Structure 1
Amino acid sequence: MAEAARRLTALAERMLGAPLPVRIRAWDRSEAGPPGTPVLIVRRRRALRRLLWKPGELGLARAWVAGDIDVEGDLYQALDLLAGSVWERGEDASRPTGPAALLNALRDPELRAAGRELLKLAGPWVPPAVPREEMRAGKGPLHTLRRDKQAISHHYDVGNAFYERVLGPSMVYSCAYWGTDKDAASTLEDAQRAKLDLICRKLALQPGQRLLDVGCGWGSMVLHAVREYGVTAVGITLSEEQAAYARKRAAEVGLADRVDIRVQDYREVPDGPFDAISSIGMAEHVGSARYAEYAADLYALLRPGGRLLNHQIARRPLKDEGSYEVDEFIDRYVFPDGELAPVGRTVAQLEEAGFEVRDVEALREHYALTLRRWVANLEAHWDEAVRLTSPGRARVWRLYMAACALSFERNRIGVNQVLAVRTPPSGEPGLPLRTRDWR
């Protein structure tokens, strides 16, 4: 008799200490759980073995990437419903939920019977193969030049054609800037162009100035600044594929003589000073151990009076900052070695490097809207995205972008543009008295 779903639901609720908010469909086609909710599909017993071999988020991530689990119905709703009981710690930190509860259940004498039943359901006790899309944890110190290049390559060197399907014609991989009406029919391309232009205005770019774009991606920022504001620009990236794409774009629009795209680390730029620096969605890769160095290096690369626009995702502060742990799914499959910091810490470190911080603008809701458009693009081009990369890679991007959209919407993470100035000894920063006149 097909009953795996009923047994799974009962076991999960016993271990988690709460009802499952979604329906389960198991490999034997049985179903159990609340009707009218998204369905969590457990396609193979191997999904259970992944959880037993790696209790926690990494086991869940591997099951998702391998296609052992899936969601039928609204992915956003499923993630939102599951967040409280599976992927996040509840308000009562003394009572673990989700993967931590599973791990505890396997150790708790009172729940060992449930653990033994889960073992029976899981089938042969052999370690499942790790999905090939997973990056193994690097060896040695974090954020060396070599290790950073490997981490960036893992994320960005997966094929420019794949990113074209996800990002659209703008080829901008950071938060767009939407209008005041969230329901307005603005295109993603319009919103990304508005973001690039906002940054150029904040930097007060003028013809003849030199701009450094740190983490230039596929070249969209430097091309916009050169074309619309008459600057010359240097764009640096650690991705060979991004650099080749950006150079090709510059040549195609006749701007190759004013755009210099380099495969180069920010710590190795030799030809400052610059009149302005933009760093858009790059500082998340720097890491807490290197952030003071990052801020000091950018300060040294600016001329007195020059401006820095630092566009960076931020996490919420913790009561115990020493307890911060990097998300295992993100670290292994999306942004290896990436770290988020509270915006207050970012501002403090920029100031410690010598910058005068003049403006901080929060764009949290804008990133949620952007991510939902990227997910829609990916889903609309799903078969092609799978062909261009792999089924597992496409599944990684779909899950991480949808989950991040919810995180921005629920105020779990934010994103901020910090405008900072290398104020000259005269104390005159060169900004208008009403700082936001760039609007």
Structure 2
Amino acid sequence: MADAALRLTTLAEELLGTPLPVRIRAWDGSESGPPPVSGGGPDGVPVLVLRHRRALRRLLWRPGELGLARAWVAGEIDVEGDLYTALDLLTGVAWGRPKEPKEPRKAVHPVFDARLRDGARQLLKIGGLLPPPPPPPEEVRRRSGRLHTKYRDKQAISHHYDVGNDFYALVLGPSMVYSCAYWDDGLTLEEAQRDKLDLICRKLSLKEGDRLLDVGCGWGSMAIHAAREYGVQVTGVTLSREQAAFARKRIAEEGLTDRIEIRVQDYRDVRDGPYDAISSIGMAEHVGAVRYHEYAEQLFALLKPGGRLLNHQIARRPERDESSYRIDEFIDRYVFPDGELAHLGRTVGTLEEAGFEVRDVESIREHYALTLRRWVANLEADWHRATRLTTPGRARVWRLYMAASAVAFERNRIGVNQILAVKTVDSGAVGLPLRTRVWNGPGTARADSP
């Protein structure tokens, strides 16, 4: 077969109903689609490289994003040229096409159904009829226990975080902060992460002697910054043993063991409140819809009257029909097992229902896109070492996940917000200034010390 690329391009355009925006190069050496410019560079057309026809069999047995993800992780599909451009073009086409009717299944629109059947037959001719290839070993295939029980959550956290501290250090850089940085012109990644941690400390109005609970403390960066710069006593909790070991080592090197305690503990098991403040940075995404109210109520109970919560959380766009929301299969199988995103309105509503007064919401969506691009650059700059520290498949998971997420943030398909909430006292006093923020001009909003 010397025309696989042309046949695939024709098939894709028939199914999508629009010209394919990228060039295809197939395993037989054939190419089809718009011509590459400057070798498929940032200003040119990316090339989607199919290294093996096995990728097509994955699509036949598991149509959609999971089949594509398996082929990517296995190295059977690659992109030559700018990955961000390729993802933006391809997801734009995919999200813009008509959706398959959902209900009832047996009454799928006949034209749509016939087109899919014909496409499957053509794909079968090109890819060959063989048993389904086994999923790459990096995929989560077996999960035990009910969703978002403590046991199952611990399994999910271990899959995502216990892949090697050295690998995370390569991606995240010296700051070891795995959440959105807070950017300004001329900042390095480490400086932008420092500014984010300091912004949170100021929003929480931390002062010497305060007790801070850092929920989902990661590798200890927030705990160290708060203890060193603001003199607070910090309790950090995580479900990852590798994170806890790394954090404790850093804390000892900083000489802060008398101010910081790191526990391998579920936040639902924390019983030593009340705390003056709680930081939850990139942790609520793991909680799950069935536990959002429990999460908010537990944090409310752990705060003293007048205490503050800073909830830093990725948010999805709301659906017109919330029952149609579906978890991303690639993310669920390879990145964040059982992770779920709530829309901003739900998070604010849940916090208020738990008793909090929400006092400030700051969207920093563009900041996360910048952060992810820096992480991807770190990964690509030391790619061979990254594959040795984990596996080639795992490194490919992270490259795709972070690059696709950067595009999603840039295009407002997902966002990230810092929500400041207060356990307001009966008198109504919250200790906030009348003007919480100072706006210094277009694009330079800063939060004053609340």
- TM-score of the superposed pair, with normalisation by structure 1: 0.94
CA distance in 2, matches of 1:360, 1:137: 38
Name the structure 1 match of 2:281.
280
1:152 and 2:143 matched: no
CA distance in 1, matches of 2:288, 2:118: 43
CA distance in 1, matches of 2:156, 2:101: 35
1:427 and 2:432 matched: no
**Structure 1 unaligned regions, length at least 5:** 97-102
Per-residue deviation, 1:118: 1.6
Name the structure 2 match of 1:32.
32
Moved over 6 A (4+): 103-107
1:48 and 2:56 matched: yes
Match among 141, 146, 154 for residue 136 of structure 1: 141
| Change in CA separation of 1:230 and 1:9 when aligned onto 2, cut-off 3 Å | same
Secondary structure of the residue aligned to 2:373 is helix
1:168 and 2:168 matched: no
- How do 1:34-113 residues align onto structure 2 when only pairs under 5 Å count? 34-36=34-36, 37-86=45-94, 88-90=95-97, 92-93=98-99, 108-109=113-114, 112-113=117-118
User: What's the C-alpha RMSD, in Å, of the aligned pairs?
Assistant: 1.9
Per-residue deviation, 1:16: 2.1
Per-residue deviation, 1:64: 0.5
Secondary structure of the residue aligned to 1:438 is coil
Contact 1:317/1:342, CA 8 A, preserved across alignment? yes
- TM-score of the superposed pair, with normalisation by structure 2: 0.92
Name the structure 1 match of 2:445.
none
Contact 1:167/1:377, CA 8 A, preserved across alignment? yes
Name the structure 2 match of 1:226.
227
Per-residue deviation, 1:15: 2.1
CA distance in 2, matches of 1:78, 1:230: 47
Identity %: 73
Contact 2:21/2:89, CA 8 A, preserved across alignment? yes
CA distance in 1, matches of 2:110, 2:397: 28
- How do 1:29-428 residues align onto structure 2 when only pairs under 5 Å count? 29-36=29-36, 37-86=45-94, 88-90=95-97, 92-93=98-99, 108-109=113-114, 112-136=117-141, 138-179=143-184, 184-428=185-429
Name the structure 1 match of 2:449.
438
Q: Which amino acid aligns with 1:10?
A: T
Per-residue deviation, 1:107: 8.1
1:7 and 2:12 matched: no
Contact 2:23/2:33, CA 8 A, preserved across alignment? yes
Secondary structure of the residue aligned to 2:212 is strand
Secondary structure of the residue aligned to 2:167 is helix
Secondary structure of the residue aligned to 2:342 is coil
Secondary structure of the residue aligned to 1:152 is helix
**Per-residue displacement from partner, 1:17-49 (whole Å, max 9, x unpaired)?**
221110000001111110121000010010000
Q: Which amino acid aligns with 2:14?
A: R
Per-residue deviation, 1:10: 1.3
| Change in CA separation of 1:105 and 1:26 when aligned onto 2, cut-off 3 Å | farther
Contact 1:105/1:115, CA 8 A, preserved across alignment? no
Contact 2:101/2:109, CA 8 A, preserved across alignment? no
Q: Which amino acid aligns with 2:382?
A: H
**Per-residue displacement from partner, 1:244-274 (whole Å, max 9, x unpaired)?**
0000000011111111000001100011110
Per-residue deviation, 1:84: 2.3
Contact 2:281/2:311, CA 8 A, preserved across alignment? yes
The alignment of Structure 1 onto Structure 2 pairs a total of residues equal to: 428
**Per-residue displacement from partner, 1:163-200 (whole Å, max 9, x unpaired)?**
00000000000000011xxxx33100000000000000
Contact 2:100/2:112, CA 8 A, preserved across alignment? no
Name the structure 1 match of 2:444.
none
Per-residue deviation, 1:108: 3.7
Per-residue deviation, 1:6: 1.0
Name the structure 2 match of 1:100.
none
CA distance in 2, matches of 1:423, 1:364: 28
Secondary structure of the residue aligned to 2:24 is strand
Per-residue deviation, 1:126: 1.2
Name the structure 2 match of 1:99.
none
Q: Which amino acid aligns with 1:23?
A: R
**Per-residue displacement from partner, 1:410-432 (whole Å, max 9, x unpaired)?**
01111000000111112111212
Contact 1:105/1:112, CA 8 A, preserved across alignment? no
Per-residue deviation, 1:141: 2.2
| Change in CA separation of 1:251 and 1:3 when aligned onto 2, cut-off 3 Å | same
Secondary structure of the residue aligned to 1:290 is helix
CA distance in 1, matches of 2:115, 2:351: 52
Contact 2:15/2:115, CA 8 A, preserved across alignment? no
